[in-house]
A and B are shown apart, each in its own frame.
Chain A
Amino acid sequence: MKRWKVWTAALSVALASLCIYAEPIRDLPQGHDASVFTTRTLVRGSQGIDVRELQGRLKFLGYYKGTIDGSYGYGTYWAVRNFQNKFGMKVDGKVGAQTRTRLVRATKGYNPYNPPKQTAGGSGSKTGGNSGNSTRAASYGGKSLSANDLKLLANAVYGEARGEPHVGQVAIAAVIMNRIDNPNFPNTVPGVIFQPGAFTAVADGQIWLTPNENARKAVREALNGADPSTGAIYYFNPATATSKWIWSRPQIKRIGRHIFCR
């Protein structure tokens, strides 16, 4: 009886370790040459695990010196161009079939699990899209906003307008951006958001709720120049507005429950 127990235990341990061992093998069926490269063409602006792969391989060869973050920026672009130049290909900074094959061939010893540090986690199946937890910094009208500024913006949008239609949320983000440009308001994201009395969500603490993907999307759209409010710098909810003065501002339009004005 006891021996039977020991055997099952040993077997399950063996099975478990086999499973753990098998995991990376499934990702890399033939040694280290196989890759998570997809067939899509990568250009500046691309995001995803295949970009990580690209950066990892370029770093392995010494062309790329930045961090492996899965977003194809200028750093990756120059690395690709240098690689293409060195290998006698057309230098266009795009990673199509030819560049991909040449790169995989040139990086025979490349092992994504023993890389020049920090590579992709696992799941080789995921191809497109943002990997989720990372927020990139962005530029807006010549100013660059940090990744944390974007998070603050998403918090503010969610706290102020989570029950509103999506355009209404984009409009709120646009109002904050318009205020940054306006000499009557502070010129930073935190300055505008935390101005005393400016936003009710800040006053009652709702800004500290965790924002959803919709709020983050609204912020990104506003940064790309979307402004459903057409230039508003104030907005209010007519049902709850406590200030008379706000009614005297020239109004623009109503979106959802908010009236936008200048």
Chain B
Amino acid sequence: MFSRITSLVLVLALVVAGFWGYREHKEKQALLLKAENQYQRAFHDLSDHMNRIQDELGKSLAVNSQKQLTPALTETWRMASEARNDIGQLPLSLMPLNKTMEFISDVGNYSYHVAVRDENKQALNEQEWQTLQKLYTRSKEIENQLAELQTAVITKNLRWMDAETALAQTDKKTDNQIVDGFRSMEKTVEQQKPLSFGPTMDRMKVNSKLDAKTLTGNDVTPEQAAGIIQRWRGLDSTKNIAVKRNGKGELYPSYSIAYTAPDGHKEFFTMTVKGGNITWYANERPVANESIDLAQGETFAVNWLQAHGIEASAVVKTETFDNVGVYEVVGMKNGVRIYPDEVTVEVALDTGEVVGLNAQDYVFHHKQNRSVPQVKVSKEKAQTMVSSKVQVQESNLALVLNDAKQEELTYEFVGTMDQDTFKIYISALDGDEVGVEKVR
């Protein structure tokens, strides 16, 4: 009797559990499908956008007037940005896709560059046509491979979720068609000769390394580096200073240095091997309530820079966080602000001590005897180039880096439009608008 009731309950429990399990399973399947569909959408979109890139590049080669050229190229630029976005949504972050990504971003940048250049409304010159033509054929190759993969995905029902698991696997050599497809695409791009986009565009490309050749001085040994830190911080000895040479992935040959103070707080430094310049400094000591205001802190920052031989004295931006004043200071020469020589100094507002420095830009741009070119356009003339909707409040002469990362002498007009403030840079050599920046 008893056993019958027990078995009845057990069977019932089994049925309930089974039903519950089945429902859980169905829900999980639905969620997986949802995720899979999102990947599928990004992938098919990518193929679509690559196709459009290729179409629009083709059009730009065929047309003969700037009026037709600009829309085709801006569309290419837009599609390249979409393609980059699509790749960002695919689970490919554990896969080297650098060359493909770089190619897509080159296509976008170059087509934008050609689309917005304004040289007498001319269509393409020979060199531009050649470059675009190369981009056209190469994007065709990528698109063909993508289309092939797309067909395989559709006909064989390949799942991106499987590709994701395959990529995450450690030891086994992956055997996944999607992964292999992307690998071979990357290989194709890798084997192609790097394209030259002309001097302007080549400079615009992001450099993965900073050029240590611009630095002066001899290479310093780790012992010398510790000595530099000891003098720089005014310490008694190099005890508690640990110097470590950075690995080969570094931006420039450098040391990572850590110092532990007697009270236990830590300080960190980055130093170039060549010349022993300190590019970054952070002091992690706790900062008490402010007893110095932001305006006084500025004097501390500027004096400190002078005492440490850093030739930057024009404070262009001030901020404050957690009782620390943050000052962006640029170089100043003959009344011209030298923006490339930029340092950020952090002053603890409890004692006025400098607790942070970021001088990478300064170290790599500063020149001992920098010559500033002569102004060719008067300030009044330059100001007429500023939009009449903007009310100019302040102006300075400033040496800035333009889009092509070259130094250019400009007038910096700080102007307002309604509630907003803008910095507008007008070339002091030919009166061209070099750049505009919204400031807060």
Contact = CB atoms under 8 A, between A and B. Distances in A.
Instruction: Say if A and B assemble together.
Output: yes
Interface of A: 40-47, 65-66, 73-75, 78, 81, 94, 96, 127-130, 136-137, 139, 142, 144, 165-167, 170, 181-187, 191-192, 195-198, 217, 220-221, 224-228, 230-232, 242-246, 249-253, 260-262
Contact of B318 (A43, A78, A244, A253): A43
A246 B167 CA distance: 12
Contact of B356 (A130, A226, A244, A252): A226
B14 interface: no
B421 A74 contact: yes
A251 B320 contact: no
Contacts of B168: 197, 242-243
A186 B84 contact: yes
B206 A245 contact: no
Contact of A231 (B250, B282, B295, B344): B250
B158 interface: no
Interface stretch (B67-75, B94-102, B189-197, B369-377): B94-102
Interface in B49-97: 84-85, 88-97
B98 A45 contact: no
B95 A245 contact: yes
Interface stretch (B113-121, B136-144, B321-329): B321-329
Interface string B131-169: 000000000000000000000000000000000100111
A191 B88 contact: yes
Given A41-B293, A196-B89, A231-B250, A217 B94 contact: no
B204 to A, nearest CB: 11
B244 A253 contact: yes
Given A41-B295, A227-B280, A253-B247, A75 B421 contact: yes
B280 A226 contact: yes
Contacts, number: 182
Given A94-B295, A142-B437, 20 more contacts: A40-B294, A41-B296, A43-B295, A73-B440, A74-B416, A129-B322, A130-B321, A217-B322, A224-B344, A224-B346, A226-B282, A227-B360, A228-B256, A228-B268, A228-B270, A230-B250, A230-B254, A243-B94, A253-B247, A260-B249
Contacts of A181: 206
Nearest to B172: A244
20 contacts: A46-B293, A74-B439, A74-B440, A75-B419, A81-B393, A96-B295, A129-B322, A167-B268, A183-B104, A184-B101, A185-B88, A185-B101, A231-B208, A232-B249, A242-B168, A245-B96, A246-B94, A252-B250, A253-B256, A261-B249
Contact of A186 (B85, B96, B393, B440): B85
Contacts of A242: 168-170
Nearest to A78: B416
B251 interface: yes
B256 A244 contact: no
Interface in B324-351: 325-326, 344, 346, 349
Given A184-B97, A196-B90, A225 B344 contact: yes
B378 interface: no
Contacts of A94: 295
Interface in B284-335: 284, 289-290, 293-296, 298, 317-323, 325-326
Closest 10 CB pairs of A and B: A45-B318, A250-B249, A40-B293, A183-B105, A231-B251, A186-B88, A74-B421, A262-B249, A196-B91, A41-B295
Given A128-B289, A184-B101, A198 B318 contact: no
A249 B93 CA distance: 13
Interface in B410-440: 416, 419, 421, 437-440
B170 A243 contact: yes
Nearest to A96: B295
A138 to B, nearest CB: 9
Contacts of B296: 41
A137 B249 CA distance: 32
Contacts of B419: 65-66, 75
A42 B295 CA distance: 7
Contacts of A44: 317-318
A253 B358 CA distance: 19
Nearest to B318: A45
A175 to B, nearest CB: 12
A66 B416 CA distance: 13
Given A74-B421, A225-B358, A246-B94, A137 B440 contact: yes
B246 A252 contact: yes
Contact of A45 (B84, B206, B246, B317): B317
B84 A187 contact: yes
Contacts of A170: 282
Nearest to A187: B84
A46 B101 CA distance: 42
A182 B88 CA distance: 12
A78 to B, nearest CB: 6
Contact of A42 (B294, B437, B438): B294
Contacts of B318: 43-46
Contact of B171 (A136, A217, A230, A244): A244
A250 B247 contact: yes
B248 interface: yes
- Of B105, B244, B321, B326, most buried by chain A (CB within 10 Å of CB) is B321
Contact of A196 (B98, B164, B256, B298): B164
Contacts of A46: 293-294, 318, 320
Contacts of A136: 440
B167 to A, nearest CB: 7
Contacts of B85: 186, 191
Interface in B343-396: 344, 346, 349, 356, 358, 360, 393
A251 B248 contact: yes
A23 B349 CA distance: 31
A81 B98 CA distance: 51
Contacts of A129: 290, 322-323
Given A41-B296, A217-B322, A252-B246, A183 B102 contact: yes
A243 to B, nearest CB: 5
B34 to A, nearest CB: 14
- Of B93, B169, B266, most buried by chain A (CB within 10 Å of CB) is B93
- Of A144, A183, A250, most buried by chain B (CB within 10 Å of CB) is A183
Nearest to B97: A184
